[in-house]
Amino acid sequence: MDTTDKKLLGLLQTNASLTTKALSLKLNLSVTAVYERIKKLEREGTIEKYVALLNRSKIEMGFVVFCHLKLVQHTKEFVTKFENEVVKLKEVLECYHVSGDYDYILKIAVKDMEAYREFLVTKLTTLDHIGSTHSTFMISEVKYTTKIEL
Amino acid sequence: MDTTDKKLLGLLQTNASLTTKALSLKLNLSVTAVYERIKKLEREGTIEKYVALLNRSKIEMGFVVFCHLKLVQHTKEFVTKFENEVVKLKEVLECYHVSGDYDYILKIAVKDMEAYREFLVTKLTTLDHIGSTHSTFMISEVKYTTKIEL
DNA sequence: TCAAATTTAGAAAAAAAATCTACAAAATAA
DNA sequence: TTATTTTGTAGATTTTTTTTCTAAATTTGA
């Protein structure tokens, strides 16, 4: 992983539609050289996948909530059960086990407040072993990026 | 935006490398039909962009922190200033203006605790108008997806 | 119902990706 | 140092995919 690879990953993280030709010009390399570097990064698993990102304002999923959540207990069984269930919920975009007052931070995207209420009552709080939840509502998205600078 | 478009967006959000041919088979459409639908979704801005997602465990940026932050005041000037500055910080992957006890929730990715300390002291807390911060550390990533189910 | 607009399919052309061969540079071993 | 292997690169060729074009089918609106 040299400087060229890092530049390449930076470019692909910003725009994966760039052709190897375009990348070769930006990186001052031949098309083949760029191609081989990309294939290597894919093989090694550094590049996990390529995805399309949608514009949340164009689809009806602009209501974002951060839910801080506690389990009633922290036995391995309860933790595993909760984590296996929560990943299945399509409204949950991100879920992190964290330090501090709460056990988990969840990022949830739904259509509106009513959809969130529905989600909370019929899906999230019906999961086993949930102690308490605390919802924080997004007012605006100041920054959202998938690009990790190397 | 019909059911076919929703299926198409679901597929592209999961794997943007699928060829129009492969998509046409999954959707029972011709290559041209798929092609035109994709171009329309791109034109309308529903599809914002295509990006490569990296495997965080393969690069040295696995230390993730959620920073809850308050401003000293909420005048338009202070808010604008803060938001303009925070988006520039490469360590900040996500930043949301939120309701509740704190004004902002930031998701920050760095190499390790030392890098986070450095970031906090030399970058984040040197921004103007910051009241208080509260850091919550990620123990594990239970779920992370960019896919919004339609 | 009819006309206009949109969507679709299939074929053809253009562009890009993938493969192949060969050469050059760098790393390793004798 | 020199020979040998490995790795990375370039250019040409083949294969695949994308894009364009034409025409037919379907949907939409008056």
- pLDDT tens figures, A32-58: 999 999 999 998 899 999 999 999 988
Mean pLDDT over A116-125 rounds to: 96
pLDDT of residue A141: 97
Is the pTM of the predicted complex or chain greater than 0.85? yes
Question: Which CATH class for the B63-137 domain?
Answer: alpha beta
> What residue segments make up the domains of chain B, in order of their start?
3-44, 63-137
Proximity of residue A40 CB to strand D below 7 A: yes
* CA B76/CA B81 separation, integer angstroms: 8
The CA-atom distances, in angstroms, between A103 and each of A68, A75, A85, A132, B138 are 7, 12, 15, 10, 10
Tell me, yes or no, if the two domains B3-44 and B63-137 fold the same way. no
Say whether pLDDT at A6 is over 90.
yes
Q: What is the pLDDT of residues B71-112, one digit of tens each?
A: 999 999 999 999 999 999 999 999 999 999 999 999 999 999
Å from the B30 CA to the D25 C1': 14
**Which chain A residue is nearest to residue B92, measuring alpha carbons?**
A143
Considering the domain A3-44 in this protein, what is its CATH number? 1.10.10
Q: Which of A72, A67, A94, A90 is nearest to A82 (CA)?
A: A72
Q: Which of A105, A42, A110, A3 is nearest to B94 (CA)?
A: A105
Q: Identify the residue whose Cα has the smallest distance to the C1' of D10.
A: A30
